[in-house]
Amino acid sequence: MKRRWITLATALLLIASAQAQTHPKLMPNLVYNPSFEEYRECPRKIDALGTLTIVDAWYQPTAGSADYYNVCGSRDCGVPKNKLGIQDAHLGDGFCGIYCSKTDYREYLQTELKEPLQAGEMYRVSFYVSLSEYSSGAVATIGALFTDERIVDTVRSVLMNKSVRQLAPGVSQTVASYYEPQVVNEYDRVLTDTKLWMQISGVFTARGGERFMTIGNFFPASQSNVVDLDSLTYLLPGAYYYIDDVSLVCLGCTGADKEQDSLVDSVAEETTEADTFQVGATFVLRNIFFDYDKATILQQSYNELQNLLAILQSHPTMKIEIDGHTDGHGSIDYNQRLSENRAKAVVDFLISKGIDPKRLQYKGFGKTRPIDTNTTDEGRARNRRVEFMVLSL
């Protein structure tokens, strides 16, 4: 049987087009899991060198270890009482926490939006913060940054915008500058409340194409309006804030329908939904990320997994096979096991979201089916992939 290679984005466009004909246009929250209610497991500990991996759709973009709290958590991570303070959730049962510090140590939260922002449209962002009473100070300049690309860095300090300049053949220079978040809390309004939640909100005009939102303090301590408070216990080395109830809403998006229609029309010229979802059609899931040499799915994969889930929910009789692939590094046996385990991890996610296990199969192909060279980083990255193939409709 001939294998047809189709992008997941094309399939989602077709579904969105069909849904748009039957549902009125709304102004939804563009943030997945906005109040941190969906999670893989209850939080158990605060790890100063840990990685945020258990709350759906959210993750940390740097080595600064963001934390998750829930009423189901342990003594360290409970709600309202936990290792780093006492606070009820602003909405629901869970929230996250980050240092926005009185020093230059920083932690951040990042998520991928449900859709890219539309150029020229105005958006309103809102989220709530509460200062831990165990902090040793408070700051003002917490904000939200919107970028086209995912931010990935290993720093534990103020996040910087780094670019590489080519000065001459073989000679380059890395230039770092401070990010300029689109929305920032007022400098004169220091965020001091340890009992109530304080709202940070603002309106901005999108440049267009922004897909990722990062929350935190993007300013050095000298520009953060740091204050000391007698009411704090000073048990923590800096200003620690709980974060909850995040919202991003488009205030107009009057041109969104026309742009979406033209894009769908261009796709429809090449294929139809019925033609796309044929038995044997294969889709590459390009944005599934795993821990290095592990089968643990990272939260950066959330949007792509949600897209796959949407397809299965829209086609309740469809059965699929999840296929895992690796690059050429490592032994045949090792890569075979790794690819199988990664494919199984995707299946386990879908089952956890209510998909009938009878509709799902998985296989691993190791390094036996490369789609690019294994001699470059880019080629190996393409070879490390997850696909799904339609088995029946």
pLDDT in tens, 317-342: 999 999 999 888 888 888 899 998 99
pLDDT averaged over consecutive 10-residue blocks of the chain (393 residues)?
48 46 62 94 90 92 95 96 96 96 92 94 97 96 96 92 74 82 96 97 95 96 94 94 97 58 36 62 84 82 86 89 88 89 90 90 88 82 87 88
Residue 82 resides in a domain: yes
Residue 29: the pLDDT is 94
104 and 165 co-located in one domain: yes
Residue 188 resides in a domain: yes
279 token code pair: 């038995």
Smallest CA-to-CA distance from 32 within 129, 111, 118 is with 111
Q: How far apart are CA 116 and CA 157, in angstroms?
A: 28
Q: What residue ranges in 169-310 does DSSP mark as E strands? A: 171-178, 183-184, 198-205, 212-217, 240-250, 281-285
Residue 47 resides in a domain: no
CA 306 from chain center: how many Å?
Answer: 11
CATH number of the domain at 140, please. Answer: 2.60.120.260
82 and 217 co-located in one domain: yes
Residue 186 resides in a domain: yes
pTM, rounded to two decimals: 0.79
CATH number of the domain at 312, please. Answer: 3.30.1330.60
242 and 309 co-located in one domain: no
Side chain identity at residue 342, one-letter code: R
Residue 254: the pLDDT is 62
Smallest CA-to-CA distance from 228 within 102, 383, 141, 321 is with 102
Residue 264: the pLDDT is 34
Residue 14: the pLDDT is 44
**Structural contact between residues 340 and 322, judged by C-beta atoms closer than 8 angstroms:** no
227 and 311 co-located in one domain: no
105 and 211 co-located in one domain: yes
Q: How far apart are CA 127 and CA 173, in angstroms?
A: 37
206 and 276 co-located in one domain: no
Residue 179 resides in a domain: yes
Residue 42 resides in a domain: no
Q: What residue ranges in the chain does DSSP mark as E strands? A: 4-7, 58-59, 67-70, 81-82, 85-86, 94-99, 109-112, 122-131, 142-147, 160-168, 171-178, 183-184, 198-205, 212-217, 240-250, 281-285, 319-325, 360-364, 385-392
Domain limit, last residue, from 204, 222, 250: 250
**Structural contact between residues 35 and 111, judged by C-beta atoms closer than 8 angstroms:** no
109 and 232 co-located in one domain: yes
Residue 48 resides in a domain: no
225 and 278 co-located in one domain: no
User: CA of 200: how far to CAs of 68, 185, 239, 347, in Å?
Assistant: 20, 6, 16, 38
Residue 205 resides in a domain: yes
Which domain does 272 fall in, by range? 4-22+255-392
283 and 348 co-located in one domain: yes
| 215-227: pLDDT as tens digits | 999 999 999 999 9
230 and 82 co-located in one domain: yes
Domain limit, last residue, from 233, 250, 267: 250
71 and 161 co-located in one domain: yes
Residue 8: the pLDDT is 56
137 and 224 co-located in one domain: yes
Number of domains in the chain: 2
Q: How far apart are CA 40 and CA 347, in angstroms?
A: 14
Domain limit, last residue, from 208, 228, 250: 250
